[in-house]
Amino acid sequence: MTRRSATASNPILRPISGVLSDEEIRPLRRDAEVNLGRILCAARDVFAEHGYDASMEAIAGRADVGVGTLYRRFPTKADLFNAVVLAARERVRQITEDVLANVSPDEAAFEFIRRCIAVPSVWRATISPPPWGSTHRIWLTQLAPLLDDIVDRTKDAGTLRIDVEVTDIVILLKAVRAIADLCDTPGSKPSLRFLEITLDGLRPGAPALVHPPLSVGQLARRLDQR
């Protein structure tokens, strides 16, 4: 790969990096700024729908922009995807913290799941990582303690069966995704119905589960592969 680092040239990251001694930082022209926004939204939506297989042309079309414009901002499809994934991860973090702060314990885990599913780009990102590197594994591993917190809290409240684990939650997101693929646009009735059924399966009172859960490490590794 003979190409300068994506993060170094990624314009979204510019406002964050305070000083870059040798490279001059000039602000984007107004129109460029606007287009960058459209591109990111389009990429978020199209990637959410088709995964990494989405074509650059499709994204450009959705953004009402030529492909050239995409490549001026993101040297590579991978870079664009990366940007979207980064944003989605941030979104998940927000949801997690908000649930911990503002949702009653007996609903925490359920609410977390519902909120993730309500934002297509989010759960798409959670379950289908970039097809390279291991950044996803790292991210999920860091997030795990927070999610554990949510799960434990709901178990303590007695509304979540005690033999489920964080990994079950992530797996569930994946399953609902599949249903949405099958039935409709994300967030549709059928997938919500399936979600209801599965959430009911998470409630106490059912017979104990006999198959062991995946460890966070295992799950993260799986997610990193496909």
- Residues at the site binding DNA, with contacts judged by CB under 7 A: 26, 28-32, 35, 53-57, 64-69, 71-73, 75-78
The distance in angstroms from the start CA to the end CA of the chain is: 22
CB of 61: closest distance to DNA in angstroms?
9
For the chain, how many helices (H) and strands (E)? 11, 0
- Is 203 near its own copies (CB under 8 A)? yes
Binding mask 69-108 for its own copies (x = CB under 8 A): ----------------------------------------
CB of 77: closest distance to DNA in angstroms?
4
Per DSSP, the three-state class of 202 is coil
Tokens representing 21 are: 């001694």
CA 223 → CA 34, 45, 135, 174, distances in Å?
33, 21, 11, 10
Tokens representing 88 are: 């989605």
Stretches 15-23, 106-114, 132-140, 198-206: which one binds its own copies (CB under 8 A)? Answer: 198-206
Burial class of 126 by CB neighbour count within 10 A (0 to 12, 13 to 18, 19+): buried
- Rule CB under 8 A: which residues touch its own copies? 127, 164, 168, 171-172, 174-179, 181-184, 189-190, 192-194, 196-203, 205-207, 209-214, 219, 222-223, 226
